[in-house]
Structure 1
Amino acid sequence: MSEILQVSQLGNPVLRRQARPIQNVRDERIQKLIDDLIATAISANGVGIAAPQVSQSIRLFIVASRPSPRYPHAPTMEPTAMIDPKIVSHSAEIVKDWEGCLSIPGIRALVPRYQAIEVEYTSRDGELHRRELTDFVARIFQHEYDHLDGIVFLDRVENTGDMMTEQEYQQRIVNKG
């Protein structure tokens, strides 16, 4: 049975640590953590979540894009566990778009990210995958990947004028009010 985990908030030192590689993907604790991360992301209307966000400093995150109140235009995909991920290559094109974070509630910011990336990761069944991600899903991957290196999205904001509260974001950007 999956459980909803408590999300570490900005200021918790675990969010600033370099996460450790995973030794045994098939370990039952890792498998349970994957299920719990998926349940936690869905419960919080998140499109991704990294293990450090639930105080587990290991190189694992979930990408789970789907429309929600936080991201109404997100594409739908099956929640995917990505273990010991790497960015193999990236596009020259960088795009700024809005991001939020379950560990930094109430704030949105325009964050520059690569428009397309080629990635490698191990899936929960121990298989190595290599694929190209673009647009919003590439953004999710880069955001979660940063968490594994102790970086939060605010670290990538180019100026404070690119930030707003969640309430203003919902009114001005989502509802175009």
Structure 2
Amino acid sequence: MIYPVVVYGHPILRKEAEDFLPEEKEELKQLIDDMFETMYNADGVGLAGPQIGLSKRIFVIDATPLADDFPELANFRKVFINARILERAGDKVIDYEGCLSLPGISEEVSRQSKVKIRYLDADFNEHEEIYEGWSARVIQHEYDHIQGILFVDHLAALKKRLLKAKLNAISKGKVNVNYRIKLPK
């Protein structure tokens, strides 16, 4: 099932998501498949629960399409459930980011180059791993979604003011995208 992508202005994007409980494990398999299908349909490399209207701590990533430019992303396809970033380290790196919930906007965002994250996989097995480079960037971007944070929140106040008209247009559905969107109520 392909979900509509929730866009800027919807309150669910600003809410900290809740953990999945062990008894919810069985319903996750279909949700994970649907999230990947939704992400692929929108030509994304990551998608978080709040972006499909689900305030739960889950995000999926398949950054393989970026592997030509960033070889460390080859075969980087993962599911993160109930994730917690334990540590951010390394140099701050500035690079462009976009977001399915903010179509048409791409801005330079500063993020640390290394993260240590604890999460559950699709089978509810716990992992604690360290990621660097672009994999760390993509994880931090998706993790922000389950924390109620958008990449534009990392921008300077002046830059945010300059984007205000574009953000307002997105919240009213005045965007040209090739995927279904869900507007704020």
Q: TM-score range by the shorter chain?
A: 0.7 to 0.9
CA distance in structure 2 between the partners assigned to 1:45 and 1:57 by the alignment: 22
Aligned length: 160
Distance 1:77 1:25, change over 3 A: farther
Distance 1:103 1:80, change over 3 A: same
Which segment drifts farther, 88-97 or 24-33? Answer: 24-33
1:73 aligned residue: 69
Alignment partner of 1:34 out of 32, 35, 58: 32
Question: Is 1:85 aligned to residue 83 of structure 2?
Answer: yes
Report runs of 4+ in structure 1 exceeding 4 Å deviation. Answer: none
Distance 1:12 1:72, change over 3 A: farther
Amino acid paired to 2:60: I
* Aligned alpha-carbon RMSD (Å): 2.2
Distance 1:72 1:41, change over 3 A: farther
SS of 1:132's equivalent in the other structure is: strand
1:25 CA drift (Å): 6.6
2:182 aligned residue: none
1:10 CA drift (Å): 0.4
Alignment partner of 1:61 out of 44, 48, 59: 59
Q: Give the structure, 1 or 2, with the largest relative contact order (CA under 8 Å, sep 6 or more).
A: 2
CA distance in structure 2 between the partners assigned to 1:157 and 1:77 by the alignment: 30
CA distance in structure 2 between the partners assigned to 1:27 and 1:145 by the alignment: 20
SS of 1:29's equivalent in the other structure is: helix
Gaps of 5+ in 1: 166-177
Gaps of 5+ in 2: 167-185
2:174 aligned residue: none
2:122 aligned residue: 124
